[in-house]
Structure 1
Amino acid sequence: MIPKIENIPIGEELEVVEEPTYTWKIDFENKRIVGYTDGLEAMKQAIYLILNTERYRYLIYDWNHGVELADLFGKDKAYAYSELKRRIREALIADDRITDVSDFEFESIDRNTILATFTVHTVFGDIKASREVEI
């Protein structure tokens, strides 16, 4: 059966509704869910989850969630610095509550480890974040 299109509103303005950030609060230290969180605290948790999930590895997440870091293992540090900046930014910008990622700084912890620190600009405010990566 062919659908009828006579009841589809064409040319009318659609109202965009912003979904709340209300989500489960994770206690990472004790590995428990301890209620709910919203706003800036929910964003900190979302950033942590994005940066600690390898993209494309887990079926539970869509392909826009997570960051690609596993293939940097064994690469040159100069290459890793530029790729880390791009990959972290792309992973975080996929969340529509994040407007920009800036102020990247890289520190070589040891021969195989880089610490990337940066500022995440969200609709709720700025968050300083970091991610340690083994290369």
Structure 2
Amino acid sequence: MSLFPIIQPQAADVDTELPFYREVAWDYEKNAPIWKNGNPVMLEGKEAVYVWAWNALHTPRFRYEIYTWAYGNEAESLIGQNYSDELKQAEGIRYVRECLLINPYITDVQNTSVSFADGILTIACTLVTVYGEIDLNGDVNINV
């Protein structure tokens, strides 16, 4: 109920269309951005979303003040827990999904599997993005 019921607020124009996604190209072996002639190489579309996903999975959540609390992977919290292998896998899958689905360009994470060996979290999944599907396979060092 409004103080002045005869005055109705105008609906704001909401632009729900996402801008075309751009990200700096990444050298996954060196874990560093790729530069050419003194400038970062830029990627667009699903390749850019892949770079974002890779970096988000390799960033521990809540550790660095530069990132929001929504960014990063919480799999590190499994270190030292006396969980069964099944529970570790279930939690690992949940952490991967939560990490990736914060990005509005990623609409779903499918076929997710994780495994732990020698402090390495191995991830395999399919990202469903606004640009199409991307297979993501990689290792994250979390010392579980």
When residues 24 and 32 of structure 1 are mapped into structure 2, their CA distance, relative to the original with a 3 A threshold, is closer
Q: Give the secondary-structure state (helix, strand or coil) at the position aligned to 2:34.
A: strand
Q: Which amino acid aligns with 2:93?
A: K
Cα offset for 1:81?
A: 0.5
Task: Pick one of 98, 109, 131 that aligns with 2:106.
Answer: 98
What does residue 6 of structure 1 align with? none
Cα offset for 1:126?
A: 1.2
Q: Give the secondary-structure state (helix, strand or coil) at the position aligned to 2:94.
A: helix
What does residue 61 of structure 1 align with? 67
Q: Contact 2:89/2:115 (CA < 8 Å) preserved in 1?
A: no
**Percent identical residues:** 27
Q: Flag as ranges the 4+ runs of structure 1 deviating above 6 A.
A: none
When residues 32 and 129 of structure 1 are mapped into structure 2, their CA distance, relative to the original with a 3 A threshold, is closer
Distance across 2 between alignment mates of 1:65 and 1:49? 10
Q: Contact 1:51/1:131 (CA < 8 Å) preserved in 2?
A: no
When residues 32 and 107 of structure 1 are mapped into structure 2, their CA distance, relative to the original with a 3 A threshold, is closer
Q: Give the secondary-structure state (helix, strand or coil) at the position aligned to 1:59.
A: coil
Q: Contact 2:114/2:121 (CA < 8 Å) preserved in 1?
A: yes
Count of aligned residue pairs for this structure pair = 126
Distance across 2 between alignment mates of 1:23 and 1:114? 25
Cα offset for 1:118?
A: 1.4
Q: Which amino acid aligns with 1:19?
A: P
Q: Deviations over 1:19-64 (max 9, x none)?
A: 2212222334453433111011101101101100011101111111
Q: Does 1:71 align with 2:87?
A: no
When residues 105 and 14 of structure 1 are mapped into structure 2, their CA distance, relative to the original with a 3 A threshold, is closer
TM-score (ref. length: structure 2): 0.74
Structure 1 vs Structure 2 CA RMSD? 2.2
Q: Contact 2:112/2:126 (CA < 8 Å) preserved in 1?
A: yes
Question: Superposition pairs for residues 116-135 of structure 1, below 5 Å?
Answer: 116-132=123-139, 133-135=142-144
Q: Which amino acid aligns with 1:130?
A: N
Cα offset for 1:104?
A: 2.0
Q: Contact 1:108/1:115 (CA < 8 Å) preserved in 2?
A: yes
List runs of 5+ in structure 2 lacking aligned partners.
Answer: 1-8, 36-40
Cα offset for 1:100?
A: 0.6
List runs of 5+ in structure 1 lacking aligned partners.
Answer: 1-8
Cα offset for 1:82?
A: 0.7
TM-score (ref. length: structure 1): 0.79
